[in-house]
Structure formats: structure tokens, C-alpha cells
Structure 1
Amino acid sequence: MDQIAGHVTNYHNLREAAQTEPEFNASWYEIHYYKSGGAIEKLRERVVPFVPTYFSGISRGAWETHKALRGQRFDALFSNASVGVFFSRTFRHIPTMIDFDSTPHQIDQMAAYSTGSPDPKPVAQLKWRLSQRMMEAAALLQAWSNWAKDSAIRDYGADPNKVIVNPPGIKLDFWKPAPERAERDASQPRRILFVGGDFRRKGGPVLLEWFRHQAAGAYELHIVTREAVDTAPGVYVYHNMQPNSAELLKLYHQSDLFVLPSLGECFGIATVEAMGAGLPVITSDVGGVADIVDVGGNGFIVPSDNAAELGQAIAGVFADEQRRVAMGIQSRALAEQRFDVRRNAARTFGYLRQLADEHTLPNLKARVERSDEV
């Protein structure tokens, strides 16, 4: 399992849910792309410092994956590691479910993820071919959204019959609305919450641009991020919030609206957490958010990098307090319907159990038949 961004939270949620599966003997391997003091990292720093860290990162991830697979016997594999593209041969021999929130093609199409000029044509062709082979080798492809599923089929020729949509879930018994909440006086500032480690990619500057043009004291921005953000009256920044923490949940409970106007986004687990906590949500039209937000029901989807459209949506939420409250209730209802980690994880484990059975039962049948012959 990749230890990157929102995948970390999903990994911990799945690992916890797997403990309730008595038939599972699960071995978990964390795939990191940097190891302080590691041999690969030392080689790059001391011998070939001109080589971009991108390549040493790939080498680290591939080596970690190789170690996880080496000398092991598995009935089924489950992976979201991007370096899985180098292990198609293994995936052909062991039934494998690939879990993904986007395809490489989709990431390349988002300017917010761009590192500069596009890949040279031979590199782009190699990346496509490796990804296509991995999808072909896998027994099942689990997409987080219909957006990701459509790309696997359209851009890589994946068999539609083996691509399923099953989003990551959240712990609904933790991410739940505040038990009691005092009504706000109309004169109190409205609290808007933003949660995004990558402040720029998640659209934080767009939200700040809108905020700077609002009347003083009308709103408060509460920003959870790992990046430096200039504070100002009404702007509160939190750098040390941990995922699934009581402190983070408290911020959700103290807020009136969740806003994540991302420039580049694949899914947005923070938005789902906000829904679990009973907040109306506003996101931008990137990635798989169409599977998350019921436009007009529990929130709005606005064009990315458009402070004016974002402001109109925020104003629309706060124009009618009864409607804002109803949107929050609808958010919770949708979270329960679509993003219950226990139900969604059970679905994933069910697929893995089926793959394992299909892989092992024919072998068992063959051994029984040979025994009968003897």
C-alpha cells in the first residue's frame, strides 16, 4: 500500500477493518518512496546527484514492493502502489486487485500535478504501455470513482467487465455530527473549513482570494494544511493536525461549511469526512467529485480556479440557514449510503476472497482428482 497523501488514511482504515475478517490472514506492506539513509538514496546523493529524486523514488518503491513479494506465497494480492506497473508478471500468476483513484493519463492531464514540460513521446509511450500491461494482468480493477473507471476503459482499453467502482470509506462512528450544537447569532462570523495538505493544489489561494474581498468579521477561515500560509484577521491556520484525530473532528464540529476548491484532485477523502460530520460541502469540478457531491442537495461543485463562482456558491449556502442545515443533514445521509468504511471494505474483501477461491479451488480439485485416481 502506497504511503502517500489520502492513501495513508485509506490504508489504515482498511487494515483496521480487515481485523474483523476471520477468514483473512492478511500481510500488510507499506510502500515508501524515500528512506532516510537508505542505500538507494545515498547512491543518488553521493554518486549521481544530478539524477532527479523522481527516479530514486521509483527505485525505492519498486525495491520495497519486490521485498514484499519475494519468497512469499499469496492466494491473492491487493495493491494501490504506483510501482505496480513493474510487476505485471507477478500479477498474472497471483490473482490481483488493483485499487486506484485515477489513471496516469488523468494525472498528466491535470496542470496542478504537472512538474513542468510534458514527457517526451518515448517516455509517455512507455508509461502508457506499462500501465496498460498492469491493468491487463490484474484480475480486477477497483476504481474509486466512475471518473477513474471511465479512464481505465477509454484510455487503456481495460475490460469493462473487470472494472468495478468502490470508493474508500470513512469511520462513520467517528466522523459524525456534533451531538449538540448551539444556534449561531446572525451577527457571528460564519466559519468555513479547508483541509488540504497541499495548500496550493487544493485551491487554498483561490479561497483566500475570495476571503480578502469580504466584509471584515463576516467570515472566519480555518485552514488545515502542512504548507506555510500567511495569517490575517479571521484566518486561522493549523499545521499539526493528525488524520482521524479528535482535534481535527472538533474543527469540523465548530464549522458551518466545508470548502475544498482544488485545482487538481482525484477524489477528496476530506470532503467525505466533512459529509460524515454533517457539513454542507463545496468542491471544484476536478477528479471524481461528481460521485461525492449531490449538487444542490448537500453542496455545490464549482469551476476550479474561479473565485467569483466559488463566492456565489458560498453565498448560496449561507443565504438560507434552514437550507444550510438541511444540506448538512443530506451530507450525513449520503456518507452513510456511499462511504461506510465497514461496508465498502467488506466489499473489497469479498472480491479478494472470490479471487483467492477461484485461484486455489481449481488446484484443490486437481489434487483431489489425482488422489482419487491413486
Structure 2
Amino acid sequence: MRVLFINENLGGHATMHAHLRRALSQGYPEIEAHFLDVPPPSLLRLVAGAQLPLLGRFDLDLQPLRFQLATSAWVYSRLRGLESEFDAVHAYTQNTVLLSAGTLRRVPSVVGLDSTNARTAYCLPYREPTRWTERMVRPSMRFETAVFQAAGAIVAKTDSAASSVREQYDVRDIRLRVIRPGIIPHEADPPAAPGTLRQNLPRIVFVGTQLERKGGNQLVRVHQRHLSERCELVLITREQVPRGRNLTVVNDISPGDSRLWRILRSSAVFAFPSRIDAFSVAVLEAMEAGLPVVACPVNGVPELVADGQTGLLVAPGDDRCLLAAFEALLAAPSRRASMGAAGRARLLERFDARREAAEEVALLHEVVAAHRADRALVGHATGHPREGRGAAPPHRAEI
């Protein structure tokens, strides 16, 4: 079965799809997986999705939708020439195929998502919602609804995302699945963490491209005011950060860089006080490294971090709550170790990419079979059996 996987390629999507590729290559010889990774925005896409200075301030410029449509137009132009080459299409996320509902009807298709625009409209990293946001997201929801109606199946990565699809888009459960994404763990249990880089201080580590609404700036503020003499803070980010006491900034780590694992393994706590994330592959990587996680209970994050067991959940934007969580963990190495071990066990049980791949492959087979049955039924009703996407091409072996 030839399957085209479309990857929106934002944030942790690249890492997630890298693990999925590996998992598919290790145990599914019947799946010929091809990946269409959306490239960084071209000048044309940037212009099409640019914020309008006056309207953007009030979230009245439809900027998120314009950017999504520009991305979807890029995917649409590629799909028009590719759809006949594949037995199924798997799009992640729905925003990559806002203009491709027709293709999703013609070809067996699965649409995956970690959130909906009804929710992400309030969680964008570069702008705050306003009283106009609810109205501005409605056109985007109409495009999403067309995609959801056309797809053979919809895969939500969290229960939170599934709830939004079900309640805000009126999608029936029979077409909606929850398949949790994961990573492929290292083959052996991680060794004991080595010493830290600065004065043998315990290390708090953060990973995030944007700092403000992902909590990075808050972390720097809390660390510099209260913890700079007691621990080191490492920020792995693309943004520039002013120098500070026992503050390390790493700007050149990309997905798959082995340095991330080494930094995680030499750390004491993983901090991710984001106010906006629907899901976080970085949190999974920290859990694999055996770190307790301090995060905010937003969207699907509580499905990753079990409060009090694998980490601590803190109120978004609350400096005192964040500081108290760090102080509690820094003062109790044994508690950090037990939480980290529980987090790693939770990862292995629930967020293994090999489990994800097995469920995705089973669903693809199911969707292809249902699509062929529907096409055959239509052909029987009209007296003209249909071939093409409804049945395996003559030159391709049945699966």
C-alpha cells in the first residue's frame, strides 16, 4: 500500500514524523510510506499570511486563516499531481488540506490533528485573543468542517482534541479516533545523569521556539529573581535571550540533534510552562530521559503529565506557583528520581511511536477497505462497477 503522509512541519511535527517514519520502516513492509513535508514559508506565503498592523492588533485581519490557506494552496498544487499515485493519504494537520476536500473524498484519507482552530485561535504564540476572535475563527471552522466531512477518518492526538472535534464540529464518534503520538525510546534505559555544566548546580531545562507564550520569559524572570544561585537554567530556543546569572542559551539545536538527549540526561527538571501548547513532543523526550516535568494544565498537556506522579502542573502565568514547584523538586532529589522514573514508565506504556504506527496502519487498512466498499456499492447501484481509487490498480498487488 502506497501512502502519502503530509506533514505540516510546524514545531514538534518534524520530530514526531521522524519517529513515525522509523516505526513504519521497522515493522510494516506492506506500507510504502512517502512523506510530503511542507517547507518553510516562501516570500509569497509570508506575504499572504502577513499580519495587518491595525486590524491585527484586534485580531480582525484573518491572519491565521490566510496563512493556513497559503500553506494549503501549496499542498493542493502538489496533491493534484500525486493523488493518483497513492492508495491513501494521511494529512497532518487538517490545515494542510483546507483546500483539498475534493481529494480527500476521492482517495482513502485520514486527517490527523493535535488541536482545532476553534481552540488554537486562542492559543497562537504570536498574538493574544480579543473579543473579536470568536467571530474571526468562524470562516476557518467552515473550511475545517468540509475537511472533516470529506475524510475517511479523523485522528485526534489527545482526548482534548477529540472533544473539540466532537463538540465544536459535530463529528460522529464512528469516524473519530484517538491515537496518541509517541517517540521511539532509546534501546537501553538511560544511564545515571552526569554532572551539570555550571558549578555542579542542578539544571532546569526548557525547549521552545517561541519564549513569551510558551513560558520561556517567565522562566527567565523567576530564575533570575529567585533561583540563579541555586540552579542553572538552560533554554533551548531560536530566540535571543539577554545574558544572566547561571543562564545558558542554546540556539542551534534542530530535531534529531543528539545534543538534546545529552542535555536532558544531565538535567534535574524539565520546565514547560506553556500557556498555548496542545501537545508537546519535547515533554515526551524529557519523560524518556527520566525527568520530572513542570508544566501548565492546558489542552492535552495533562494527558502527558500526571500531576504529583510524573511532574507538577502549575497555574499558567503564576510566578509564585512556578517557583514553588521548582523549590519543591530542587529540595528533594529522591522525589525527582521517583517522578522521573514514573514519567519514563508512562512514556513507554502510552507514548511509544511503534504503538502509534501499529494503530495508524490498522486504521489505514480499514479506511481503504471502507472506501473500496463504498465505491463498489455505488458502481453496483448504477450498474457501472468503478475502478481506479476504489480498487487496487491492476499493476499493484492487493494487500
Change (3 A) 1:105 1:213: same
Which residue of the other structure, out of 127, 146, 169, is the alignment partner of 1:133? 146
Q: Give how far 1:243 is off.
A: 1.7
Q: Distance in 2 between matches of 1:116 and 1:122?
A: 11
Deviations 1:103-145 (CA, angstroms, capped at 9, x unpaired) = 0010112364536656687753322211112112212111111
Q: Give how far 1:260 is off.
A: 0.7
Q: Distance in 2 between matches of 1:240 and 1:92?
A: 41
Which residue of the other structure, out of 86, 91, 115, is the alignment partner of 1:79? 91
The answer for the alignment partner of 1:341 in structure 2 is: 353
Residue 24 in structure 1 maps to residue 36 in structure 2: no
Q: Secondary structure of 1:32's match?
A: coil
Residue 58 in structure 1 maps to residue 69 in structure 2: yes
1:103 partner amino acid: T
The share of aligned pairs that are identical, in percent, is 25
Residue 94 in structure 1 maps to residue 107 in structure 2: yes
Q: Distance in 1 between matches of 2:34 and 2:241?
A: 40
Indicate conservation of the 8 Å contact 1:75/1:359, yes or no: no
Residue 282 in structure 1 maps to residue 278 in structure 2: no
Deviations 1:137-165 (CA, angstroms, capped at 9, x unpaired) = 21211111111110001111111222211
Change (3 A) 1:291 1:44: closer
The answer for the alignment partner of 2:393 in structure 1 is: none
Q: Distance in 2 between matches of 1:31 and 1:281?
A: 31
Give TM-score scaled by structure 1 length.
0.86
Indicate conservation of the 8 Å contact 1:33/1:60, yes or no: no
1:77 partner amino acid: V
Residue 34 in structure 1 maps to residue 47 in structure 2: no
Q: Distance in 2 between matches of 1:313 and 1:217?
A: 17
Alignment of 1:219-298 (within 5 A): 219-298=231-310
Deviations 1:16-57 (CA, angstroms, capped at 9, x unpaired) = 222232111223212236236xxx469979xxxxx9986466
Give TM-score scaled by structure 2 length.
0.81
Residue 15 in structure 1 maps to residue 21 in structure 2: yes
Deviations 1:71-126 (CA, angstroms, capped at 9, x unpaired) = 53232210014131222222122221111010001011236453665668775332
Aligned residues: 361
The answer for the alignment partner of 1:332 in structure 2 is: 344
Indicate conservation of the 8 Å contact 1:177/1:253, yes or no: no
Which residue of the other structure, out of 211, 215, 239, is the alignment partner of 1:199? 211
Indicate conservation of the 8 Å contact 1:32/1:64, yes or no: no
Q: Distance in 2 between matches of 1:97 and 1:111?
A: 25
Change (3 A) 1:224 1:122: closer
Q: Give how far 1:268 is off.
A: 1.1
Q: Secondary structure of 1:19's match?
A: helix
Structure 1 stretch displaced more, 57-66 or 97-106? 57-66
Q: Distance in 1 between matches of 2:72 and 2:181?
A: 23
Q: Secondary structure of 1:333's match?
A: helix
Change (3 A) 1:3 1:161: same
Indicate conservation of the 8 Å contact 2:72/2:96, yes or no: yes
Residue 302 in structure 1 maps to residue 314 in structure 2: yes
Q: Secondary structure of 1:28's match?
A: strand
Deviations 1:290-340 (CA, angstroms, capped at 9, x unpaired) = 110111111011111111101111122223221111111101100101111
CA RMSD of aligned residues (A): 3.1
Which residue of the other structure, out of 144, 160, 164, is the alignment partner of 1:151? 164
Unaligned runs of at least 5 residues, structure 1:
46-50
Unaligned runs of at least 5 residues, structure 2:
1-6, 50-60, 386-399
Q: Distance in 1 between matches of 2:48 and 2:314?
A: 43
Deviations 1:267-291 (CA, angstroms, capped at 9, x unpaired) = 0110111001111111112220111
Q: Give how far 1:250 is off.
A: 0.6
